[in-house]
Structure 1
């Protein structure tokens, strides 16, 4: 939720088409960057890259071990669902203020 709120600018937050990732665009020093939050190899991962750099999923930073992770967008509402290795499911919904 904090990453979404920090990147809350018009068009900056997008759910990945795979349903397993979130992409947040930002600008600094005249350049565009993307923060990727995604599920890969049993972990929630994070990568911060220049916008023109391709994502290499295995190169990201491991955030948490998860059995599953999904991101769904319904209108402006983003819903994140995480499943722990023990099977516990938790969901969080965030509505960015920007469209």
Structure 2
């Protein structure tokens, strides 16, 4: 059974809420994401789906973790146009500004 976006958001909100209030539950999130999701939602996540809950560092500026998702090696190391679009940002040519604003809600 597929998960809807609303259902996914509701389950994740409940997990975050419970993890903020219960150290035991939070610890289980870090070691058994699939089990916690099934406990909260009543639905199992397929085993071939990797889910990772990461702990926020306790001390400000004291380490932490950065997760970078690498592209599949089958792609030859090149990102597709869709993947590039999803991660791109930064400089926007002013000549393209009007073109981007048509049908877009982005503010510049």
Output the TM-score relative to the length of structure 2.
Answer: 0.25
Higher helix share: 2
TM-score, length basis structure 1? 0.26
Higher relative contact order (CA 8 A, sep 6+): 1
